[in-house]
Chain A
């Protein structure tokens, strides 16, 4: 089955700095890579996703890049703000197959943005 590794496990940055979280996956059939954000005491919510036919996707201050050859993808947050502090999870899926929408998640990264 799929295995997703996520690094770093914790990340501390100053407000205004950039933050990068990296994930690797093992199954070359995976074609859908979402990122979820979980604020303290809240439920995980999708913030951005990318499919294997695209190398990069941006949404305001967040961007995701995908390298299919190396089987890794990354989340980039620019101009970080204290409200970006949360746990971030990457995930991978073979969407459209018989996976029924099943996601394999990484271990999570605790991002702390210091004012």
Chain B
């Protein structure tokens, strides 16, 4: 059974703080993704990674960066948090072996004050 975990379920930060969101998967998946979920906007892709140290911008990368130093771990970084980054953040992974099913983490609800 695939397991994707995220470091926090709820997070409250102040404007300007640097924020780290971590995601870990235990199925040796090649691909990992970070989305933000906002009502009426669906799941929007921020960044994804298809291998260690490899990353690609998604549809809304501004204000975010990512790090993938180990295959199982994919971190999302908000360099200087702003109130418009208040959202639900979801991590996902997929095997990359012609299997496109994405397995999601439980999500981190981030509030930036």
By a beta-carbon cutoff of 8 Å, the part of chain A in contact with chain B is 1, 6, 9, 32, 34, 42-46, 49, 89, 93, 95-96, 100-108
Contacts and interface: CB of A to CB of B under 8 A. Distances in A.
Contacts of B90: 43-44
Contacts of B35: 105
The interface centre, meaning the residue of B31, B35, B42, B105 with most chain A CB atoms within 10 A of its CB, is B42
Interface residues of B, number: 27
Nearest to A106: B42
Contacts of A103: 45, 100, 102
B42 A108 contact: yes
A44 B43 contact: yes
B43 A32 contact: no
Nearest to B48: A102
A42 B98 CA distance: 26
